[in-house]
Structure 1
Amino acid sequence: MVDELIEKADIKSLENKLGVHFEDKNLLRQAVTHKSFPNENKKLNIKDNERLEFLGDSVLGLAISTYLFNKCENSPEGELAKTKAILVSSETLAEKARKLDLNKNLLLGRGEEITGGRERESILADSTEAIFGALYLEKGFVEAKSFIISLFKKDINKVLSGEYEKDYKTLLQETVQKDSDKTPQYQVIEELGPDHNKKFVVEVELADDKLGKGRGSSKKKAEQKAARKALENLDIYAEE
């Protein structure tokens, strides 16, 4: 029963997908172990991935920052920070988790499994960073950086060429939650035009502070524009 529970994480399959051989298999298994699993299986004495996620966050940041610093020699600090913010967002990291089949090999508690934790963005993003932490401990920074840059290369090129579709709502939420536990709230404050050509005006607020407005042909587009304006007002993004 114990082996059956733990082997829900297919380590050999993970190694093949990563293209990396781990001498310490437990390290790789820990990277895909959500805290809910050991909480529900205390007798297994298995560690969750939170410490590896903490380490991997720094490894990812340094790898991306170093690459951008060397590649974009004429870019100011602000531009580098914008590019990095997109690349290390939860949305992008969750996408990488799916690409690496981490979602299929997570060790989750029964409660998280039932409530869709295997596809939850925050869990997937954390597991990706935990993998980076495990790679760093197993192979060192040079190899971990090489893996990360290879994984993000297409995204980096898209961002630098202006082709990347920025998720401003995600960026805004992650920005404000660094210093606050509050979440930006979006409200339609005006609807313009006939039904077949309606425009929506959305305002985003944080607590009682109005951060920005946006207009679009759909509520979703208006929210994105409002989030972008908020980022500009917070000096995170400059007008393009």
Structure 2
Amino acid sequence: MSTAPLRVADRIGHRFRSPELLQQALRHRSAGVPHNERLEFLGDALVNLVVAEALHARWPKADEGTLTRARASLVRESALAELARRLELGDRLELGPGELKSGGHRRDSILADAFEALVGAIHLDAGFETCREVVLPWFEPLIDDLPTGRAEKDPKTRLQEWLQGRQLPRPSYQLVETRGDDHARVFLVRCDTTEPALTEQAEGASLRAAEQLAAERLLLKLEKK
């Protein structure tokens, strides 16, 4: 019998009373059932709640928009994937042959989903209070790194504000290509401005992620001009 779940339990700081929950959290749907998608659904809500609660307590003077942007920056796919890497979840994932061959254990979307599934599994195993006690310390260094009382706006917002501040037309976004299987979809997006006439492309595991990255690249180009 594999000792991987036990090693992961040591790494995350929670010993599961029901080890099958941890095993399910680490099983991608490509590996068969039961997989981690239902746990991911639960964990997504829990992560948002834990982070929102922490921000609300730490930033008593921040308005709703600031809190929302801060939460979004903390729970975005790339941030959760990085936390999954710190917990070494990638090496413990159970993947089907296709995902193993394509390096699924390194893909942000799969890692972020596994992270959320893990949070859901902890909640079902020990309740919300224990879940919060385990999960919140993972986010605390990220919260500490945020500018106090405010959060960096996302690239699409910053690009639009940069253009509006100079009375220039808003940018446009176009989906260029979608490829890959349903569970590993990749989106290619183009971002264009007319004044000045510039364009940038970017790929992402979601349409929103691709748009944000394309906007960031175009904004960097504008700022250098």
Per the TM superposition, whether the score is higher than 0.5 is yes
CA contact (8 A) 2:59 2:149 kept: no
Residue of structure 1 equivalent to 2:218: 223
Residue of structure 2 equivalent to 1:27: 21
- SS of 1:107's equivalent in the other structure is coil
Of the candidates 94, 99, 104, which is equivalent to residue 91 of structure 2?
104
Paired residue type of 1:16: D
Of the candidates 183, 191, 205, which is equivalent to residue 186 of structure 1?
191
CA contact (8 A) 1:202 1:222 kept: no
Q: State the distance in 1 between where 2:41 and 2:219 align.
A: 29
CA contact (8 A) 1:167 1:224 kept: no
- SS of 1:160's equivalent in the other structure is coil
Alpha-carbon distance, 1:116 to partner: 1.3
Aligned-residue sequence identity (percent) comes to 34
Residue of structure 2 equivalent to 1:61: 48
CA contact (8 A) 2:190 2:199 kept: no
What do the CA deviations read for 1:140-174 (whole angstroms, capped 9, x no partner)? 111211222100111111113499887737xx9xx
Q: State the distance in 2 between where 1:118 and 1:91 align.
A: 14
Superposition RMSD in Å: 3.6
Q: State the distance in 2 between where 1:80 and 1:15 align.
A: 31
Residues 26 and 166 of structure 1: CA distance in aligned 2, closer, same or farther (over 3 Å): farther
Residue of structure 2 equivalent to 1:86: 73
What do the CA deviations read for 1:109-135 (whole angstroms, capped 9, x no partner)? 000110111111100000000000001
Alpha-carbon distance, 1:186 to partner: 2.8
What do the CA deviations read for 1:55-104 (whole angstroms, capped 9, x no partner)? 00001011111111111111000000000000000000000111001000
CA contact (8 A) 2:41 2:117 kept: yes
CA contact (8 A) 1:83 1:160 kept: no
Instruction: Tell me how many residue pairs correspond in the alignment.
Output: 186
Runs (5+) with no aligned partner, structure 1 = 39-45, 192-199, 205-211, 213-218, 227-240
Residues 134 and 103 of structure 1: CA distance in aligned 2, closer, same or farther (over 3 Å): same
Alpha-carbon distance, 1:201 to partner: 4.0
- SS of 2:191's equivalent in the other structure is strand
What do the CA deviations read for 1:15-51 (whole angstroms, capped 9, x no partner)? 110111101010000001000001xxxxxxx410000
1:168 partnered with 2:155: yes
Paired residue type of 2:31: F
TM-score w.r.t. structure 2 length?
0.71
Paired residue type of 2:30: S
Q: State the distance in 2 between where 1:136 and 1:168 align.
A: 33
Q: State the distance in 2 between where 1:88 and 1:17 align.
A: 21
Runs (5+) with no aligned partner, structure 2 = 160-172, 179-186, 202-210
Q: State the distance in 1 between where 2:119 and 2:29 align.
A: 18
Residues 126 and 224 of structure 1: CA distance in aligned 2, closer, same or farther (over 3 Å): farther
Q: State the distance in 2 between where 1:53 and 1:61 align.
A: 12
What do the CA deviations read for 1:181-202 (whole angstroms, capped 9, x no partner)? 98642358799xxxxxxxx944
Paired residue type of 1:37: A
What do the CA deviations read for 1:205-233 (whole angstroms, capped 9, x no partner)? xxxxxxx9xxxxxx99643558xxxxxxx
- SS of 2:28's equivalent in the other structure is coil
